[in-house]
């Protein structure tokens, strides 16, 4: 892979997905900047989550292509895409409710071969790595608690730790600030900045505009299943098409 | 208080080790203090149930996929062994392993069809498998003996009946030990972690890089193989096979009932359930004969377990013990996220384990793989 | 090679059988639509209704068709009660699997109670018109089969009109298609789901009476029905009523035609072959809409 290619991050060409008669993604051609914090915004029903689900393999697009760092990931199963270095969180936050916090993280660890598959799941270095992430999230004291007993905010942090455990280069966050108190939003923003500084790329779907504008380097606006504007936050904020899409003008 | 909990954990481990050794001692000495061979046959029947429900629990317990048709694999193991002995003239135990290997091979396409889509289709396929095999084995009388049954020659012709029972008691015990060991190894392995993640949230597990379909298929084949071994051993012991009993929905449902009653998340859950239900079955057979009321009781018990203690006896009892001894573990529950989730799901019973999305008219994912 | 008239007769018989399959499969589809429940006890209730018809005929001497006046409302009420009192209490996260076990346990209880009350003996209703048959275009068709088909067709038509024309039907369809949206429209989806369940069970009452007219019944007969019925709803695409009806007709006819060359039991394997083929090649079923894709 040439140096030039490796600068390219997640990109799609003509990505289309219809559900019954409703076109959720309409030939969306878009690319995101590698190494940056990207944001994907748009009114409800504009296709953001469908876009997430298509590029992570949860949904197979009807047509179009998705590539990551030059590699075709269109229609690949989700675990392959995860192993290609793309991690994601879910809207409304999903953890494994009846597993302990530590085990929630160990699911994300990658076994190498058959022997590693059958070896004990609590390998020392993996456990240490998991504890490291828990400490960073500030929930290390909950290591042995079942995930379902955590508070909403703690579950959000746990989900993020779980995604990080699989060591992705690109992290897709679906509404990280949804249902979270302001103090925790600040905390999540700090974490995103730190992790970005450590070299991880982010793509964030979010409705909280303050968060989007303060956090992101590059913003893409979706309307009716396709991008209508993109650029740095300052430009997007004053773009008429964006205002139109949001206000329904 | 980390020190206190450490001591507690250590004493718990000793307690468990002690219980395990006591259990092994009882199991090994059982044949030497039974009053008559009849009690030994009850012991064998219970061990057979225990192997079957432990085998079922490889799929049911780890992945949460409920198979009502595991009786089919037991029946195939039994008939496979019987037919390989009678038609191919293989030695008894070679036939047993060959039959189990054949069942493992057959389980691959069955699993392929059953596991591609989630949930309901799996149950439907599992039931259909039993029904179709019953039809085939009844109709294909020239090969299987049909409704007249199939007589399997005994592996040790010169042996007295009591001795014969004793040998099979230990064979079943050994098979149970192997099945439990395999379950334990998977339970604590990376592979088992992935399987349990599938049970909790299959999409999420896949998004974290777990090849869920392969995992499910592998554990399904393992489960079918152990079930076939149990069925084959039963065939060699009992010596007479009838398709109606071998391919019955009921035998599969007993496996589910036992595992569920004991607790599917626990290594010894199915064994415990097998002891309770198996003993009840054998006892009532003697006391009341073969009446249709068996079905009623099995049905009621299954219904009660499903409604009131879907996690089984073991968690119910340990929960009780924990409450009595109040270990002083403080609750970490600040906001009850679990309740939040339950509320959310109650609002949307339509899509229980699905993401609810604002901009996606259809939350379902495409069938894949 | 069977004669043309024999083939024609088989086709007619296949259609008649397919009608009954279609009605019962519609019931299963309803449960699945409103609750995502695979109702294993459906065919056990079918046999229960058949026994009730047989029993009423033997004890009271009434025509089996009259028992519908009792069994249909009774089964409707039982269906509503089952949904309200049992199924809604299961954890939503494990509903699909646990409801299978729950309805399975109900099937066992019904089979056991039938065996206890009426023994395992095979039973059959003898009516004045049992042996009558009609002949058209060289095919001999028993009158009772025509009556059974007429009942199934009438019930299906009634169900169709109820779903398409009535306010209740509208609410039911809305609940099936998008529960949250239905709630936003002010529909009490829990109550509607209960009624949907009752309606599903009512199809078993009609089907059971139709079955009793020309079939020998015994307690464990329901296993011979649940397999084909479940194959039909998978082949048709889980949740699709027209899909289930078409699959029912097609498979019923295939079964009937195969019986010309094969034994009855071998002919029945067509359902399972179709089931496995569907899941291996097109898991969402032939007419599967959005519901089918995940289940």
Q: How does pLDDT run across C193-217, given as a tens digit for each residue? A: 899 999 999 999 999 999 998 889 9
A217: its two tokens: 């380097």
In a domain, C89, yes or no: yes
C-alpha distance from residue B258 to each of B43, B53, B124, B206, B275 (Å): 16, 6, 21, 30, 8
Residue among A92, A106, A152 whose CB faces B193 most closely: A106
Q: Give yes or no for A56 touching B (CB within 8 A).
A: yes
Termini Cα distance of chain C: 42
pLDDT per residue, tens digit, chain B (369 aa), is: 455 567 777 788 888 889 899 999 999 999 988 888 889 999 999 999 999 999 999 999 999 999 999 999 999 999 999 999 999 999 999 999 999 999 999 999 999 888 887 777 888 889 999 999 998 998 888 888 888 889 999 888 888 888 899 999 999 999 999 999 999 999 999 999 999 999 999 999 999 999 999 999 999 999 999 999 999 999 999 999 999 899 988 889 999 999 999 999 999 999 999 999 999 888 888 888 778 888 898 899 999 999 998 888 888 888 888 777 755 444 444 444 444 455 444 444 433 333 333 333 333 333 333
Question: What is the residue extent of each domain of chain B?
Answer: 37-249
Report the alpha-carbon distance of residue B358 to residue B8 in Å, rounded: 48
In a domain, C120, yes or no: yes
Residue showing tokens 């001497």: C61
Q: How far is CA C279 from the centre of its chain?
A: 21
Residue B30, burial from CB neighbour count under 10 angstroms (0-12, 13-18, 19+)? middle
Length of chain B: 369
Angstroms from B169 CA to nearest CA on chain C:
31
Residue of A61, A78, A143, A222 to mutate when probing chain B, most B C-beta within 10 A: A78
Coil/strand/helix, residue A204:
strand
In a domain, C160, yes or no: yes
Rounded to 5°, the CA angle C144-C145-C147 comes to 60
Residue among B193, B206, B331 whose CB faces A121 most closely: B193
Angstroms from B124 CA to nearest CA on chain C:
7
User: Are C271 and C227 contacting, i.e. CB atoms less than 8 angstroms apart?
Assistant: yes
Q: Which residues pair with B240 in a beta bridge?
A: B151
Residue showing tokens 């007419």: C287
State the CATH number of the domain containing residue A36. Answer: 3.40.50.300
B262: its two tokens: 């004991």
Q: Give yes or no for C191 touching B (CB within 8 A).
A: no
Report the alpha-carbon distance of residue A25 to residue B315 in Å, rounded: 47
Range of the domain at A190: 3-92+162-247
Report the alpha-carbon distance of residue B100 to residue B230 in Å, rounded: 9
Do B357 and A91 count as a contact with CB atoms less than 8 A apart? yes
In this prediction, residue C280 carries a pLDDT of 83
Report the alpha-carbon distance of residue C99 to residue C56 in Å, rounded: 32
Q: How many domains does chain C have?
A: 1
In a domain, A136, yes or no: no
Alpha carbons within 13 A on the beta-carbon side of C102: 23
Chains in contact with C via at least 3 Cβ–Cβ pairs below 8 Å: A, B
Report the alpha-carbon distance of residue B276 to residue B256 in Å, rounded: 13
B16: its two tokens: 């468990």
Residues of chain A found within 8 Å of residue B205, distances taken between Cβ atoms: 96, 107
Residue of A25, A26, A53 to mutate when probing chain B, most B C-beta within 10 A: A53
pLDDT digits over A218-241, tens only?
A: 999 998 888 998 899 888 888 888
- Which chain A residues in 189-248 lie under 8 Å from chain B, judged by CB atoms? none
C-alpha distance from residue B129 to each of B122, B358, C105 (Å): 11, 40, 19
Angstroms from A155 CA to nearest CA on chain B:
8
In this prediction, residue A73 carries a pLDDT of 93
Q: Which of B265, B281, B271, B258 is nearest to B318 (CA)?
A: B265
Q: Which residues pair with A174 in a beta bridge?
A: A205
Q: In what order do the strands lie in the sheet with A218-223?
A: A86-88, A170-174, A201-205, A37-41, A218-223, A226-231
Do A151 and B335 count as a contact with CB atoms less than 8 A apart? yes
Report the alpha-carbon distance of residue B166 to residue B33 in Å, rounded: 12
Average pLDDT, chain B: 85
User: Are B112 and B183 contacting, i.e. CB atoms less than 8 angstroms apart?
Assistant: no
C-alpha distance from residue C138 to each of A5, C141, C145 (Å): 76, 10, 17
pLDDT digits over A113-144, tens only?
A: 777 888 888 888 889 999 999 999 999 899 99
Phi then psi dihedrals of residue B162, to 5 deg: -60, -45
Report the alpha-carbon distance of residue A164 to residue A162 in Å, rounded: 5
Report the alpha-carbon distance of residue C109 to residue B300 in Å, rounded: 7
Report the alpha-carbon distance of residue A104 to residue B197 in Å, rounded: 8
Residue among C116, C180, C265 whose CB faces B138 most closely: C265
pLDDT digits over C54-76, tens only?
A: 999 998 888 888 899 999 999 99
Termini Cα distance of chain A: 45
C176: its two tokens: 């099936």
pLDDT digits over B10-42, tens only?
A: 788 888 889 899 999 999 999 988 888 889 999
Termini Cα distance of chain B: 49
Q: Give yes or no for A19 touching C (CB within 8 A).
A: yes
Q: Give yes or no for C220 touching B (CB within 8 A).
A: no
Helical spans, DSSP H, in A140-208: 152-165, 182-197
Residue B35, burial from CB neighbour count under 10 angstroms (0-12, 13-18, 19+)? exposed
pLDDT digits over C221-262, tens only?
A: 998 899 999 999 888 887 778 888 899 999 999 999 998 888
In a domain, C246, yes or no: no
Residue C86 makes CB contacts below 8 A (sequence gap 6+) with B307, C102
In a domain, A76, yes or no: yes
DSSP string, B210-277: --HHHHHHHHHHHHHHHHHHHHHHHHHHH-EE-HHHHT-HHHHHHHHHHHHHH-TTSTTHHHHHHHHH
DSSP string, B16-83: HHHHHHHHHHHHHHHHHH-SSHHHHHHHHHHHHHHHHHHHHHHHHHHH-PPPS-THHHHHHHHHHHHH
User: In what helix (H) or strand (E) does residue A108 lie, and over which residues does it extend?
Assistant: none
Rg (CA), chain A: 18
Residue C88 makes CB contacts below 8 A (sequence gap 6+) with C190
Residue A137, burial from CB neighbour count under 10 angstroms (0-12, 13-18, 19+)? buried
DSSP string, B180-191: HHHHHHHHTBHH
Q: How far is CA B367 from the centre of its chain?
A: 28
Do B210 and A91 count as a contact with CB atoms less than 8 A apart? no
Residues of chain A found within 8 Å of residue C289, distances taken between Cβ atoms: 20
Length of chain C: 295
Helical spans, DSSP H, in B309-361: 313-325, 337-347
Instruction: Specify the pTM.
Output: 0.88
In a domain, A151, yes or no: no
Range of the domain at C113: 16-219
Residue among B114, B119, B297 whose CB faces C97 most closely: B119
Rounded to 5°, the CA angle A189-A190-A193 comes to 90
ipTM confidence score? 0.89
Residue A26 makes CB contacts below 8 A (sequence gap 6+) with A16, A47, A224, A225, A226
User: Are C187 and C175 contacting, i.e. CB atoms less than 8 angstroms apart?
Assistant: yes
Q: How many domains does chain A have?
A: 1
C-alpha distance from residue B170 to each of B33, B34, B175, B271 (Å): 14, 14, 9, 16
């Amino acid at each position: 892979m040439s140096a030039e290619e490796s600068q390219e991050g997640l990109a799609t060409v003509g990505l289309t997905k219809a559900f019954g008669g409703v076109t959720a993604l309409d030939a969306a051609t878009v690319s995101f900047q590698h190494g940056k914090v990207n944001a994907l915004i748009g009114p409800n029903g504009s296709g953001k989550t469908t876009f997430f689900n298509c590029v992570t393999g949860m949904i197979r697009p009807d047509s179009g292509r998705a590539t990551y760092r030059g590699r075709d990931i269109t229609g690949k199963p989700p675990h392959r895409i995860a192993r290609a270095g793309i991690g994601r969180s879910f809207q409304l936050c999903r953890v494994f409710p009846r597993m302990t916090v530590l085990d929630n993280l160990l699911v994300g660890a990658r076994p190498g071969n058959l022997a590693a598959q059958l070896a004990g799941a609590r390998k020392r270095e993996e456990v240490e790595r998991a504890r490291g992430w828990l400490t960073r999230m500030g929930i290390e004291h909950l290591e042995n608690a079942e995930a379902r007993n955590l508070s909403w905010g703690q579950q959000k942090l746990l989900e993020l730790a779980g995604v990080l455990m699989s060591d992705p280069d690109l992290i897709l966050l679906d509404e990280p600030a949804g249902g979270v108190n302001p103090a925790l939003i600040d905390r999540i923003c700090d974490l995103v900045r730190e992790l970005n500084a450590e070299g991880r790329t982010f793509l964030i779907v979010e409705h909280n505009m303050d968060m989007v504008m303060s956090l992101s380097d590059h913003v893409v606006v979706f309307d009716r299943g396709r991008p209508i504007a993109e650029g740095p936050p300052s430009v997007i904020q004053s773009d008429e098409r964006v205002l139109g899409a949001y206000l329904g003008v | 208080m980390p020190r206190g909990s450490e001591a507690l954990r250590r004493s718990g481990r000793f307690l468990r080790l002690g219980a395990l050794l006591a259990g092994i001692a009882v199991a090994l000495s059982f044949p030497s203090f039974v009053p008559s061979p009849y009690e030994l046959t009850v012991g064998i029947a219970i061990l057979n149930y225990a192997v079957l429900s432990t085998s079922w629990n490889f799929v049911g317990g780890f992945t949460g996929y409920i198979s009502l048709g595991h009786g089919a694999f037991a029946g195939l193991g039994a008939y496979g062994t019987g037919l390989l002995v009678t038609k191919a003239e293989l030695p008894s135990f070679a036939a047993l392993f060959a039959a189990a290997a054949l069942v493992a091979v057959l389980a691959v396409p069955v699993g392929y069809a059953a596991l591609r889509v989630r949930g309901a289709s799996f149950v439907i396929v599992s039931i259909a498998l039993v029904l179709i095999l019953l039809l085939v084995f009844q109709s294909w009388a020239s090969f299987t003996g049909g409704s007249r049954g199939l007589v399997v020659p005994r592996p040790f012709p010169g042996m007295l009946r009591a001795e014969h029972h004793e040998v099979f008691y230990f064979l079943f015990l050994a098979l149970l030990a192997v099945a439990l060991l395999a379950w334990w190894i998977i339970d604590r392995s990376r592979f088992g972690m992935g399987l349990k993640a599938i049970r909790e949230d299959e999409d999420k597990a896949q998004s974290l890089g777990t090849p869920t379909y392969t995992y499910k298929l592998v554990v399904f084949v393992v489960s079918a193989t152990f079930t076939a071994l149990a069925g084959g051993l039963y065939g060699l012991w009992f010596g007479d096979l009838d398709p109606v009993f071998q391919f019955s929905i009921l035998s599969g449902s007993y496996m589910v009932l036992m595992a569920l009653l004991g607790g599917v998340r626990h290594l010894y859950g199915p064994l415990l359930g097998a002891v309770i239900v198996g003993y009840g079955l054998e006892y009532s057979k003697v006391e009341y004969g073969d009446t249709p009321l068996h079905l009623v009781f099995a049905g009621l018990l299954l219904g009660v377990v499903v409604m009131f203690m879907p996690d089984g006896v073991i968690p119910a009892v340990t929960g009780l013990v924990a409450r009595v001894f109040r270990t002083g573990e403080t609750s970490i529950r600040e906001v009850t996220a679990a309740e939040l989730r339950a509320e959310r799901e109650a609002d949307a019973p339509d899509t229980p384990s699905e993401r609810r999305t604002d901009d996606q008219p259809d939350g379902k994912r495409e069938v894949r793989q | 090679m069977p004669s043309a008239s024999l083939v024609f007769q088989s086709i007619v018989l296949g259609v008649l059988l397919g009608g009954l399959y279609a009605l019962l499969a519609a019931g299963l589809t309803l449960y699945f639509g409103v609750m995502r429940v695979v109702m294993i006890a459906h065919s056990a209730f079918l046999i229960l209704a058949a026994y009730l018809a047989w029993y009423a005929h033997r004890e009271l001497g009434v025509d089996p068709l009259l028992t519908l006046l009792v069994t249909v409302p009774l089964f409707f009420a039982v269906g509503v009660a089952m949904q309200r009192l049992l199924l809604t209490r299961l954890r939503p996260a494990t509903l699909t699997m646990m409801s299978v076990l729950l309805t399975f346990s109900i099937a066992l209880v019904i089979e056991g109670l039938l065996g206890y009350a009426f023994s395992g003996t095979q039973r059959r209703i003898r009516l004045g018109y049992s042996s009558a048959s009609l002949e058209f275009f060289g095919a001999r068709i028993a009158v009772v089969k025509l009556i059974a088909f007429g009942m199934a067709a009438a019930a299906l038509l009634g169900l169709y009109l109820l779903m398409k024309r009535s306010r209740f039907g509208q609410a039911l369809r809305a609940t099936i298609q998008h529960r949250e949206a239905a709630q936003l429209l002010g529909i009490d989806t829990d109550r509607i789901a209960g009624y949907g369940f009752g309606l599903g069970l009512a199809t078993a009452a009609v089907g059971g009476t139709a079955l009793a007219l020309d079939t020998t019944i015994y307690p464990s007969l329901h296993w011979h029905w649940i397999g084909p019925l479940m194959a039909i709803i998978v082949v048709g695409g889980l949740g699709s009523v027209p899909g289930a009806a078409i699959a029912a007709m097609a498979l019923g006819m295939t079964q009937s035609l195969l019986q010309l060359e094969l034994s009855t039991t071998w002919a029945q394997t067509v359902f399972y072959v179709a089931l496995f083929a569907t899941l291996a090649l097109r898991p969402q079923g032939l007419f599967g809409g959005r519901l089918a894709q995940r289940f």
